[in-house]
Amino acid sequence: MNSLNTIQDINTFLGAETLYNQVTVADLTYANVTFFHTRMYNMYALLLMDNKCGEVIRDNQVVEYSERSLITIRPGQTLGVILDYDIKPKGLILAFKAELLEKTGLGRDFYMFSYFNMNYNDAIALNEIEYKVIRNCYTNLHAELHTPKDHLSGQMIRLGIGTLLSYVKRYFEQQHIDLVKRSETLSNRLDSLLDKYLGSGQPAQMGLPSVKWCASQLNMSPNNFAEQIKKDMHVTAQEYIKNKMIAHAQVLLRQTNMTINEIAEELGFKYPNHFTRMFHSSTGYTPLKYRKGN
């Protein structure tokens, strides 16, 4: 099984020109049939399927789909199509690298598009009006990618992707309301717990929130808590907690005059250098540079 590691890899199979290294929109009609062999995607992708052209298998599970439907792919997932060679595939693909999200508004808001991380075995079905809306988003992105580059190009591309992903969120949640409720129950409870704790001043006395502490506050065993977070959000519990702390630190850096040492203490870090290293590894900036930039 081969991997699709770069945008050029996608475009090579689809006969499309690589205009940006981090994103492409291409027509499945022109795809080489080998493109549909099972491959690991090291990027995000959205397939808009205009017709049913064979059996789609994602992560070894058959995806139920029909014409006018969307199939989501996250980095690390595998996808392949056992083609019906009497039917020519029709549709569009948007693919973008995770690097496109770094240090951008789209990346900051990407948590909203949690459907990428949920486990479900059917495509997002679209009615005729929804299909036209989604296809128009693809068309606008394709046009922007083929517009001569200027200082607004990156912003316009990210806005276009954000608009498309927001519509997908709407249609996904309408179709999978029970799944959304199940997945949000734990994350919402955990978010509320961490927001209250980090904003209470208690970390300065009690220390950083740990997986064990969070689990106990939610009346769960640490193992069950960690497994459920990993299953629902495809991130470790420790990583989830760290991301919440970094987000809280960013707010303090932007909206207060607290020193870096004071913020580190406020969040429960024993040593300010530990806070600085974690912040830098997560954002690419030191706390001081982040504050100056904002």
pLDDT in tens, 243-281: 889 988 998 998 888 999 999 999 999 899 999 999 998
What are the residue ranges of CATH 2.60.120.280 in the chain?
A: 2-175
Q: What is the CATH number of domain 2-175?
A: 2.60.120.280
What are the residue ranges of CATH 1.10.10.60 in the chain?
A: 183-293
Show the tokens assigned to 228: 């459920």
Rounded (10°) angle between helices 153-175 and 177-198: 120
Q: What is the CATH number of domain 183-293?
A: 1.10.10.60
pLDDT of residue 230: 83
| CA dist., res. 169 & res. 164, Å (int) | 9
pLDDT of residue 72: 95
Provide the whole-model pTM: 0.66
pLDDT of residue 148: 94
Whether 60 has a pLDDT exceeding 70, the answer reads yes
- Whether the Cβ atoms of residue 27 and residue 92 lie closer than 8 Å to each other: yes
pLDDT band at 179 (very low <50, low <70, confident <90, very high): low
